[in-house]
Structure 1
């Protein structure tokens, strides 16, 4: 039995799938892009205005052509495999604020670089992540578009498949060409011309729509043989139905509509199926990602991906809290439990999330790593064999004996997860040593981690390819 079946049955999954088919055939999906409308028409879908009605057989054929697993290739850092529970994770991305000493402020470029370093030195992240630069005064137009990508190529030692060019502000008719140029930059840097080297994120516009720019990105990546991920983020009662099952129906339809188009454009295009929808605070009309419903959606996403035999994305250390407090810890533990138990192939926002995706906390980044270690140990379960039953030791020590003899045995270190930041000391001793809070302890360790970052070594030819795209402040180093 799969872990997700505690929360959603295979019969429920089939019913949601049938609801998706009904939505496709009777409600339709809006594509605000003529190229997409023409593609659907050419393949026999009914198109009315900018609304596409996808027949069952078209959906079924598209799902069959999408691979169950695939690789993103890189000569510099090795190939990344997505699928089969690969659980490739990155820290929080896309935020514009930072929690800094009890206040929330807008990020600076220095914060962006420090966030990057924290992700690079993390033991729980596998791919490099660079936030868009906050201050772009003095950047050339190419640096605004490709600067983040070039920065990652130069300074990341981890997989870089999730760092794309920035097309915000680019004219609609230029998005396609700009994205293709970015793909070619990575190809040339890696010396790989005929395989996927990047994965582009495509976000539907809930409910049941895609606007123009994401579709142009889709076409560019499909034509260049790259991978895609589709991740709706719908708010119940606003951009989705008021029930969890209804929300799963519309968001699954959104992700699959993108998949169908990708397979029509280029059969076999690698696709990651995702969903980051959650709850809605109807008092303030805000998305609530630190909710029990978000965990249910995470499990359901795993179940739907299993049904369609697709790699998938969900989860992270999600929280709506604005400070590193009890709420932040409780919500992050709840969401990380669901994330690690459902074993997604691609995880964004693995560490450091506050303020409903909008705020990063460096202290929370490290504390989330601690939570991850706890959950991983729990999910590993109890090993029962002749060695762990320890009968010979029990017999030797006997009744009222003492097992503490000499150095701490390897078995204990393997069996029991030891906290690095959480306080496990005697309360009197803790008080004598200054009553240091967990947050203060984490802040001190953040500085150590930032100091430990080391840039990778690149070939001269690689540096020449990317140098003109890197903003002047970061061309030579990222030490402050």
Structure 2
């Protein structure tokens, strides 16, 4: 359901991989089911597995079934996302994932996941420095594997409660780290990955709204090129919610318009409108308004901007109720993207064969 919704929400451009851990499937085989569903229920890009080298190889092999060897030889069609084992340790999960993806010319995203005060110092400047050292070491290794292999520098610095040790999100210190690492990534000539709509809240409440908004806004202003956890994140990443997914996606459209900057074209400066409208007149019926009214302003699907009487007549629904109705409506309207029948059959055969080869493992 989450993959289907991601496919249908226009402001989401990427499906990730583990958007929900399928705990009823053995750990050793989960990646096969997740990859198959990403590849058949959506045509948006997605990540591959990284937790064990054979799982990374399965991801690359299944991507080749979908895209073909020739396309894959010339393009990055799948990426892996790995975290260094902070502080200052790059283990075999990271190096083997880099080897598997980059040797095939595919992309790798390396993200030092630093809880300041635990995996890094409590000072933001020190944690930023540590994160850059860890990520750039992995960047150098990826280029030893294959010069020119796509590499994305990631940032996931988070503060923590020094009373309980619990991660905190949307706080000012991680926001500052986004801005600092954004500038460093541009200086290094590397694309940047940051976190998205992050919150420690357990439900879609005011805490979730302001923590997610502050976190995502800083990611956008930092100039991030690739964003994971942009929608649906709750409880510090331990759970997701359908309502939170569509609520966050609604806001992403606004961020995308803001990130596009100010349009100063001749059409945007509207010279003809000022020639048409008399002083103290109005622009509602002007030719410029008629040409642009459908795209002039971002219109969120979930926000209610009508008067209170109209809101009451419509059932006085709060945001969570409107979000529930939106995601259930989207699922009812879902139709899978077209996929070549031969490709789908080959994917099914690959998954079946690999499942027969891999012993069940629940850890």
Could you say which TM-score interval applies, normalised by the shorter chain? 0.7 to 0.9
Contact 1:352 1:360 in 2 (8 A): yes
Structure 1: which 4+ aligned runs deviate by more than 4 Å? 382-386, 401-408
- Give SS of 1:228's match: strand
Q: How far apart in 2 are the matches of 1:258 and 1:355? A: 30
Deviation, structure 1 residue 440:
0.6
SS at match of 2:118: coil
Unaligned runs of at least 5 residues, structure 2? 353-363
Query: In the alignment, which residue of structure 1 is the partner of 2:24?
Result: 136
Where 1:225 maps in the other structure, the secondary structure is coil
Number of residues of Structure 1 aligned to a counterpart in Structure 2: 344
Contact 2:169–2:236 (CA<8 Å) still a contact in 1? yes
Deviations 1:13-38 (A, max 9, x none): xxxxxxxxxxxxxxxxxxxxxxxxxx
Cα deviation 1:254-312 (Å, max 9, x = unaligned):
11111122222332222100111121111220121221222212222211111110111
Conserved 8 A contact 1:231-1:274? yes
Tell me the C-alpha RMSD between the 2 structures.
Answer: 2.6
**Alpha-carbon distance in structure 2 between the residues aligned to 1:121 and 1:334:** 25
Further displaced range: 379-388 or 286-295 = 379-388
Relative to 1, partners in 2 of residues 1:436 and 1:180: Cα closer, same or farther, differing over 3 Å? closer
Match of 2:41 in 1: 155
- 1:180 and 1:224 in contact (8 A); partners too: no
Q: TM-score, normalised by structure 1?
A: 0.66
Higher relative contact order (CA 8 A, sep 6+): 1
Q: Following the alignment from structure 1 to structure 2, what is the Cα–Cα distance between the partners of residues 221 and 418? A: 39
Q: Within 1, Cα distance between the matches of 2:286 and 2:105?
A: 59
What is the CA distance between 1:418 and its match in structure 2?
Answer: 2.8
CA shift, 1:225, in A, is 2.9
Change (3 A) 1:429 1:454: closer
Partner of 1:230: 110
Alpha-carbon distance in structure 1 between the residues aligned to 2:271 and 2:173: 38
- Where does the alignment leave 5 or more consecutive residues of structure 1 unmatched? 1-113, 168-174, 472-480
Decide which of 311, 319, 335 is 1:438's aligned counterpart: 319
1:130 is displaced (CA, Å) by 4.1
In 1, are the aligned partners of 2:56 and 2:100 still within 8 Å (CA)? yes
Point out the structure with max Rg over C-alpha: 1
CA deviation after TM superposition for structure 1 residue 356, in Å: 1.5
Query: What corresponds to 1:125 in structure 2?
Result: 12
TM-superposed deviation, 1:435: 1.6
1:32-431 to 2 correspondences below 5 Å: 114-131=1-18, 133-137=21-25, 143-160=29-46, 162=47, 164-165=48-49, 167=51, 175-192=52-69, 194-195=73-74, 196-379=76-259, 380-381=261-262, 383=264, 386-387=269-270, 390-395=273-278, 398-399=279-280, 401=281, 403-405=283-285, 409-431=290-312
Return the structure number with greater helix share. Answer: 2
Distance 2:243 2:167 in 1: 23
Are the equivalent residues in 2 in contact too, given 1:363–1:446 (CA < 8 A)?
A: yes
Q: Which residue does the alignment assign to 2:355?
A: none
In structure 2, what is the equivalent of residue 70 of structure 1?
none
Cα 1:239/1:428, change in 2 over 3 Å: same
CA contact (8 A) 1:218 1:262 kept: yes
| CA shift in 2, pair 1:247/1:135, >3 Å | closer
Task: For 1:424 and 1:319, locate their aligned partners in 2 and report how far apart those are by CA, in whole Å.
Answer: 25
Deviation at 1:316, TM superposition (A): 1.2
Q: CA deviation at 1:327?
A: 1.4
8 A Cα contact 1:276 1:314, kept in partner:
yes
